[in-house]
Amino acid sequence: MNTLQKYIETHRNRFVEELFDLLRTPSISADSDYKPQIAKTAKQVASALEKIGCDHVQEIQTQGNPVVYADKIIDTKLPTVLVYGHYDVQPADPLDLWESEPFEPTIKNTLIHPEGAIFARGACDDKGQFFMHVKAIEYLITTNQLPCNIKFMVEGEEEIGSPSLEATIKEYKELFKNDVILISDTGMISNTQPSITTGLRGLSYVEVEVTGPNRDLHSGFYGGAVANPINILSKMIAELHDENNKITIPGFYDDVLELSETDREEMAKAPFDQQTYNKSIAISKEAGEKGYSTLERSSVRPTLDVNGIWGGYIGKGAKTVLPSKAYAKISMRLVANQDPDKITELFTRHFLSLAPESVTVKITPHHGGKAYLTPLDSIGYQAAHKAYSQTFKTPPIPQPSGGSIPIVSLFNDVFGSHTILMGFGLNTDAIHSPNEHFGLFNFFKGIETIPYFYQHFTELYKNS
Ligand code: BES
Ligand code: MN
Ligand code: MN
């Protein structure tokens, strides 16, 4: 055992206890009722950073939830790594599907996590993951081994699209200035096959409202003679994909960066079993855009999905009604080169054109963001690659993810620095779902791997 492993071994229980404290506060950003808990969590994060010896710890007030900043600047000639994370979490609903309380963290064993996993909302996304950095830095500061400068930016609005962060990073551009950005808020293939997330999808998110008559009508008196907005909306939505599951919005694919054959071959090397995949989510057959594999469909191809649809009568029993309104929330995951504003515009134009004269359609855009690709030849990626190889004893596979962290492409625009996505979660960790968890193996392996990143990055930086 080296000194790092010994340090982790000695302080294991305390690390878990400290994370538990953070997990006990329900910092749900989507619901304004939780403002006090958000404020409390920001304070907990700030005090955790103070305790490990960070300087200039402060809560930056924004239009929305506070951003926690801290740093340890040891020498301005050395490179600076900015660690980004988010202390806000998704709502815990549906509550009745949780096997233990979402905000009362508990350790349980699972097939995939025989060494135990922490079950709680935010365990993996993202409290458990950014906390690995806090503990890795604790080790480096305590043992006097910090090789470079570090800064923390832990925000509280990631799960609602980071509405205040753009203004904040522009206002505090100097404060957050960095040479590379490090984020643990994604996943890896498995505990025996590490991977580094090399891509994130962008997002365009819209809400549509279809209005027919000015009020709900008796479906006997009026049914058949007046357009039903739910029928119409369903038809309009169905028209957004063709028989090959391609999106029919004109111009939608114009800017899509197509993968080269070599890239596709590279991607196909990642271990993946369709049967296991189908079984894990209880489907009998996969589905998606013709001509692409499941891994491609869920990472490097753009998509359009209805996230929710409602209208009319949904109470008990049967009520005969021809509804006045129908609604849907629709998200489009975007890939490199697609511009979210342009896509929202194309969607709007096309969707309006699908509407018959018998209804009116209103479209409201929500948050969006561009996709991001980490350059594999960057020193940040190389440093991460070396770090994983050392602690997992096997080289990590680069793997683009289908998820989004919209702020990442903005970081690139504002700071001109690359983002390295060192995620230690697993796809099966149920983030955003009931029974979210984070493996203890993953938590401690993360704490062990992160310090090597700092060392390799600093060395590569000096030689570049
Ligand atoms: N940490 C996730 C994103 C993620 C998870 C990316 C796993 C890759 C692998 C993040 O907290 C998240 O949930 N992002 C949202 C977008 C946001 C605008 C609400 C998403 O991807 O749906
Ligand atoms: Mn996250
Ligand atoms: Mn999330």
Express each pLDDT in 225-282 by its tens digit: 999 999 999 999 999 999 999 999 999 999 999 989 998 998 898 999 999 999 989 9
Structure tokens at 343: 């896509």
Q: Mean pLDDT over all residues of the chain?
A: 97
Q: What is the pLDDT of residue 267?
A: 87
CA of 334 relative to ligand 3 center, distance in Å: 17
CATH for 211-255+302-367 (3.30.70.360, 3.30.470.10, 3.40.50.360, 1.10.240.10): 3.30.70.360
Percentages helix, strand, coil for the chain (3-state, rounded to 5) are 35, 25, 40
For ligand 1, atom 5: residue with the closest CA: 186
What's residue 367's pLDDT? 83
Percent of the chain surpassing pLDDT 90:
98
CA-CA distance, 29 to 410, in Å (whole number)? 21
**Cα 65 to middle of ligand 2, angstroms:** 16
Q: Is the CB of 371 under 6 A from ligand 1?
A: no
> How far is 53 from 32, CA to CA, in rounded Å?
32
Question: What is the CA(408)–ligand 1 centre distance, in A?
Answer: 11
What integer pLDDT is reported at residue 379 of this predicted model? Answer: 98
Alpha helices in 206-285 (DSSP H): 229-238, 261-268, 274-280
Residues with a beta carbon under 5 angstroms from ion ligand 3: 125
CATH class of 3-200+371-463: alpha beta
CA 404, 408, 409, 410 dihedral sign is: positive
Per-residue confidence band for 101, with pLDDT thresholds at 50, 70 and 90: very high
Mean pLDDT confidence for 114-119: 98
Tens of pLDDT along 276-309? 999 989 999 999 999 999 999 999 999 999 999 9
Where does the pLDDT of residue 318 fall: very low under 50, low under 70, confident under 90, or very high at 90 and above? Answer: very high
Is the distance from CB of 429 to CB of 124 less than 8 angstroms? yes
Nearest CA to 27 out of 155, 132, 118 is that of 155
Quote the pTM value.
0.94
Where do the H-state alpha helices sit in 298-439?
Answer: 340-354, 379-392, 407-415
Query: Quick check: 80 and 174 in contact, CB under 8 A?
Result: no
- For residues 45 and 273, give the distance between their C-alpha atoms in angstroms, rounded to a whole number: 39
CATH 3.40.630.10 intervals, the chain: 3-200+371-463
Compute, in angstroms, the gap from residue 442 CA to the centroid of ligand 3.
18
The verdict on the CB of residue 429 being under 6 Å from ligand 1 is no
Is residue 148 over pLDDT 90?
A: yes
Is the C-beta atom of 83 inside 6 A of ligand 1?
Answer: no
User: Does position 174 have pLDDT exceeding 90, yes or no?
Assistant: yes
Q: Would you say 459 and 142 are in contact if contact means Cβ atoms under 8 Å apart? A: no
Rounded distance from Cα 434 to ligand 3 centre (Å): 13
Residue with tokens 């090597």: 452
Chain region(s) in the chain for CATH 3.30.70.360: 211-255+302-367
pLDDT for the residue numbered 299: 96
> Of 132, 25, 197, which Cα lies nearest the Cα of 446?
132
Distance 400 CA to ligand 1 centre (A): 13
Q: Is 436 in the pocket of ligand 1 (CB under 6 A)?
A: no
Where do the DSSP E strands lie in 17-124?
Answer: 55-60, 67-72, 80-86, 106-108, 117-119
| Pair type for strands 321-322 and 217-218 | antiparallel
> Strand 195-200 relative to strand 303-311: parallel, antiparallel, unpaired?
unpaired
Tokens of 136: 């890795």
Closest residue to atom 16 of ligand 1, CA basis: 404
**In 24-74, alpha helices (H):** 35-51
Q: What's the CA-to-centroid distance between 87 and ligand 1, angstroms?
A: 13
Ligand 1 pocket test: pick from 84, 90, 404 the residue with the most ligand atoms within 8 Å of its Cβ.
Answer: 404
Q: Ligand 1: which of 125, 127, 438 to mutate, judged by most atoms within 8 Å of the beta carbon?
A: 125
The distance in angstroms from the start CA to the end CA of the chain is: 32
Q: What is the pLDDT of residues 425-435, one digit of tens each?
A: 999 999 999 99
Ligand 1 proximity of 155 Cβ (cutoff 6 Å): no
187 lines ligand 1 (CB under 6 A): yes
Ligand 3 centre from 157 Cα, in Å?
10
